Amino acid sequence: MNLIPDYVKKWIVQLSVGITLIVSACTDPSFVGTDLFTDESFELEVIDTVSLRVSTILIDSIDTYKPDRLLLGFHRDKLLGKALAAPFFEVGLDTWNNGRPEKSTTAFDSLTLVLTYDGYSAFDTSLWQTISVHRLREDMEVIDDYSLYNNSSFSYREISLGTLRFRPRPGSEGEIEIRLSDQLGLDLFEKIRDADAIMESDAEFRSYFKGLVVLPDTTQNAAVLGFATTPQLRLYYRDLTDLTADPLTITFSCDPSGEDILFNRIQGDRSGTLLSPLASGQYTQLNSRNSGNLAGLQGGTGLQARIDLPYIRSLLESSPDALIADAQLKIRPVLDDASEQFELPQTLEVYWVDEDNAATAQNTYPAYLYTDPEFGRDIYYLIDIRDFVELQFKSAENTDMGLLLTFREEAYDVSMDKIKMGNDQHASAPMELLITLLSLK
């Protein structure tokens, strides 16, 4: 007969969490006596030999229409492969603050594209990189559900309007300015000055100028940068009656809150890597045992990770009356070099998912990053999954539920953040599940 009421058991569970801080993580049970109960005592057992099944998942498409950030850059990773981010956008007519240029007293000076940093960057910003601006050949149209995706694309002219080689300064809150074709600039200037019908409305203008795409140089393994969603064409011209004055400007801006179309095309290419078996398809899944005991996450490209506990019920059946005092999942990132620890996101989102990787209810966990700033040796994410383990323990049979690791929703489609993690068999960065059981004697 069980002499301890349920409310006392709950108190014991809370107490045991503190006790486990002094209990060694080993498979041999640790016994802790208590003078609080005369008829029964309890023991704590910490289990760290739970087998895990870790997989990398590829989501076929991510909605990147009217994002909160324009992403631009190219990066190559040994496991995750190549990742390219290129923004597509339209620009429309702005108000001409200085009025229509006079034909006899003004002259074209230059045309530029201006991109404003929004503070985001990923990977090595100390490297010089090159970008090019291309004019679209076809009208951009949203898909019938009013979306565009990371794998959407529209044809553009191969010859660029202009290029820029620069060293990024994403924390400067400044901008970069790329000089574009004088031929295009003069054409736009003359159409404005001559009151061409193309310049009478946004619709007419877009029939002539369909938009732009900015491409990174794919021969350079450099940074991925974030820019504001308000790119702008600046057309400079001079007043011939005062050649010492600064140039006047006419702007063509992208308005993300209006009808202008903009989206990020984000391509992932895993050919030649351990993740190459991942094919394009909704939630294609690759067991980490087939990818060098590694799994990966990457923003924008659709890579997520799934963790299953396939043998948890059989392990716990040996202690049917035990209470689960604690269950902590420790995920260790695999770093190609020490500098990558500074690029790791501080938190991850962990969802309960079914066999099709669809989220069930609203069960989510945060995964917090713990670092070793002095030596960089013990870096890991820690997740409290006690509720999830209890559900598996109480179920009448094995469930098909798992844990899906991803980035925060507000950053998933507008970042190129990455994490590579070892599974429970990885030699230097093994994943661990530590379960503390409280049993009555």
| 56-70, 147-161, 242-256, 305-319: segment of lowest average pLDDT | 305-319
The owner of tokens 């070793």 is 372
pLDDT of residue 240 exceeding 90: yes
Beta-ladder partners of 192 = none
Mean pLDDT along residues 275-280? 86
Q: Quote the tokens at residue 265.
A: 């095309």
Degrees to nearest 5, angle at CA 25 with 23 and 30:
50
Best CA proximity match to 412, nearest among 68, 38, 16: 68
The owner of tokens 């002219």 is 157
pLDDT of residue 274 exceeding 80: yes
pLDDT digits (tens, 9 = 90+) for 192-224: 999 999 998 888 999 999 999 999 999 999 999
pLDDT (0 to 100) of residue 393? 78
Rg (CA), the chain: 29
pLDDT digits (tens, 9 = 90+) for 364-384: 889 999 987 666 678 999 999
pLDDT digits (tens, 9 = 90+) for 68-95: 999 999 999 999 999 999 999 999 988 7
| 259-268, 276-285, 362-371, 376-385: segment of lowest average pLDDT | 276-285
Do the Cβ atoms of 436 and 324 come closer than 8 Å? yes
pLDDT digits (tens, 9 = 90+) for 337-353: 878 888 899 999 999 99
Mean pLDDT along residues 93-112? 88
pTM: 0.86
Pairing of strands 380-384, 294-298: unpaired
Best CA proximity match to 88, nearest among 47, 140, 41: 140
Do the Cβ atoms of 131 and 153 come closer than 8 Å? no
pLDDT (0 to 100) of residue 47? 85
> Average pLDDT over the chain, rounded to whole?
87
pLDDT digits (tens, 9 = 90+) for 132-186: 999 999 999 998 778 999 999 999 999 999 999 999 999 877 999 999 999 999 9
Best CA proximity match to 184, nearest among 152, 220, 157, 165: 157
